[in-house]
Structure 1
Amino acid sequence: MGDDRPRIGPKAAEDEVPLGPAGRTRGLSLRAVVPNAITAAALCSGLTGIRFAIAGMWHEAILAVLLAGLLDGIDGRIARLLKAQSRFGAELDSLADSLSFGMAPALILFLWSLQDLPRLGWFASLAFAICCALRLARFNAMIDVDEQPHKSAGFLTGVPAPVGAGLAFLPVYLWIATGRDEFREPVAVALWLSAIAVLMISNMATFSWTSLRPRRNVRLELIAVIGMLCGALLMEPWWTLIVICAGYLALMPLSIVRYARIKRQRAAPAQAH
């Protein structure tokens, strides 16, 4: 589903507020419009999920947020491809992520289940939305910090906001796939949502795309698995999403172990001196 990495780079000054004749601002360049338009589309998709939830259209509500995650995963890459990184894009991206992956899932889950537990359910929804905003604020605050052990090793700190939203919906996937109302139990949903909120703001090292380096002898097999996974998403989307969530959760202990090993390797030369 992507990460919450703002789009900032050496072209920021050029694309942010360039000056025209008489010192007037010309606004964003055309190439900067494309990734920001995708970000705006992700924001609209996430918020439309709330509209579907109000109407009781749970399948559509979940898919709208997942579509927002897909769009969020490509906007930053397109910005880097077009050399259109800007401070404006970074701020818009963070705002869109907070609304699409914090507020939208919190409200959808409240309307789906947690409103049957008004006080605790609402606090769980608030915790999720606030933790998502705090995660994004922490990430933005760390942009210019040189010493970032997780980032320098190719890891993320905590669960990314789009991934957190996808994991938060796991009870809904199970409910749709099995038809069993036990997965809609508000107490269990509140505890699950709170747990994902904590993971988003935790200091735990989690895998990023750059830290996943499959061995050469399994890369063709990996391509085949990814292709089959896409086919499974079209044929059995809810069970496939359950498998993806289970796979990500299973990788979390491995990411902790791998980062601890890298940390020990980095510390060894210092101890030798």
Structure 2
Amino acid sequence: MALCFGLTGVRYAVSASFGGPVNHWEIALGCIVLAGVLDGLDGRIARLLRAQSRFGAELDSLADNIAFGVAPALILFLWSLQAAPRFGWIAALALAVCCALRLARFNARIDADDQPHKSAGFNTGVPAPAGAGLAFTPVYLWLITGNDVFREWVVVMPWVLFIAALMISNVATYSWSSIRLRSSYRIFALAGVGLLAAALITNPWLTLLGICALYLGLLPFSIMSYMKVKQRRASRGG
């Protein structure tokens, strides 16, 4: 389903770029967001059904590469980067290629015993779904403000290249396993999830922009947190 939503997003982007309704850009982004939601559920559903397999892991990576690498690259190219005189397509390719490289690195390490980031509860680099969401930040700003400056390739291209670099970087980023809530806070967390869902329904683009800003703002803290973990491990080893 995530794979289908990713390709459907491309379909609506093609329609919008060839004179279709403007809201087709919104539908294209919505398809990628839904693919991200499904990506967050598929592993948990597989574990619940005791249906985990290496086949499923490989299929998940292939679907992620299409939904969060190829599809966002094509949508951003059709939306803005095709106006760049020479390197617009190269920037779009960079996003797709870096997503593929990130997923390949993840698969290559999936059975490795020595994974310092994973064992400490961190990801290595920005995950593919988060990378796709961050890459769409100029589109969110355009949809919110209606200002075409956010659609200019001179704005979009550097941002896309920056996000592509984050995806293949060795930056330690927070993962779901690094979030440990006390039992007394869980009811507030559930309420927060409900409010977030309501915000996504009523004002999706502003909410997604806020989530992206929060994610980027947490990167320095995730790096410092991992450095503390490394120092503790080194002191124990010494």
Paired position in structure 1 for 2:206:
239
How far did residue 93 of structure 1 move? Answer: 0.9
Q: Letter of the 1:49 partner, please give it.
A: G
**In 1: Cα distance, 2:46 partner to 2:195 partner:** 29
Residues 56-67 of structure 1: matches in 2 within 5 Å?
56=16, 57-67=24-34
- What amino acid maps onto 1:45 in structure 2? F
From 217, 223, 227, the counterpart of 2:194: 227
Looking at structure 1, the residues matched to 173 and 83 of structure 2 have their Cα atoms a distance apart, in angstroms, of 34
**2:21 equivalent in structure 1:** none
The aligned amino acid for 1:93 is: D
Q: Which residue of 1 aligns with 2:74?
A: 107
Alignment correspondent of 1:42 = 2
Q: Displacement of 1:92 after TM fit?
A: 1.0
1:182 Cα offset (Å): 1.1
1:112-127 mapped onto 2 (5 Å cutoff):
112-127=79-94
Partner of 1:266 in structure 2? 233
Compute the displacement of 1:80 (Å).
1.0
2:151 aligns with 184
Match of 1:130 in 2: 97
Deviation of 1:121 (Å): 1.1
TM norm structure 1: 0.82
Equivalence map 1:178-217=2 (5 Å): 178-215=145-182
- Contact 1:121–1:187 (8 Å) recurs in 2: no
Q: What secondary structure does 1:44 align onto? A: helix
1:218-270 per-position Cα deviation (integer Å, ceiling 9, x unaligned):
44433333222211111111111110111111111111111111111111122
Letter in 1 for 2:14: I
The corresponding residue for 1:78 is 45
> Do structure 1's residue 98 and structure 2's residue 70 form an aligned pair?
no
* Whole-angstrom distance in 1 between the partners of 2:39 and 2:216: 21
Moved more, 217-226 or 123-132: 217-226
Letter in 1 for 2:13: A
1:54 pairs with one of 14, 22, 30: 14
**Equivalent of 1:160 in 102, 121, 127:** 127
- Identity between Structure 1 and Structure 2 (%): 63
CA RMSD, Structure 1 to Structure 2 (Å): 1.2
Segments of structure 1 that go 5 or more residues without pairing to the other structure are 1-40
Unmatched segments (≥5 aa) in structure 2? 17-23
Deviation of 1:73 after TM superposition, in Å, equals: 1.1
CA distance in 2, matches of 1:220, 1:76: 24
CA distance in 1, matches of 2:180, 2:107: 27
* Residue 87 of structure 1, CA deviation: 1.8
Paired residue total: 231
Give the aligned partner of residue 25 of structure 1.
Answer: none
Q: 1:88-141, CA deviations, whole angstroms, 9 ceiling, x for partnerless residues?
A: 111111111111100000000000000100422111101000000000000000
Distance in 2 between residues matched to 1:142 and 1:202, nearest whole Å: 15
The TM-score with structure 2 as length reference comes to: 0.94
Q: 1: CA distance between counterparts of 2:157 and 2:181? A: 36
- How far apart in 2 are the matches of 1:248 and 1:94? 22
Give 1:15-34 correspondences, 5 Å limit. none
Q: Using a 3 Å threshold, how does the CA distance of structure 1 residues 253 and 68 change in structure 2: closer, same or farther?
A: same
Distance in 2 (CA, whole Å) between partners of 1:246 and 1:135 is 22
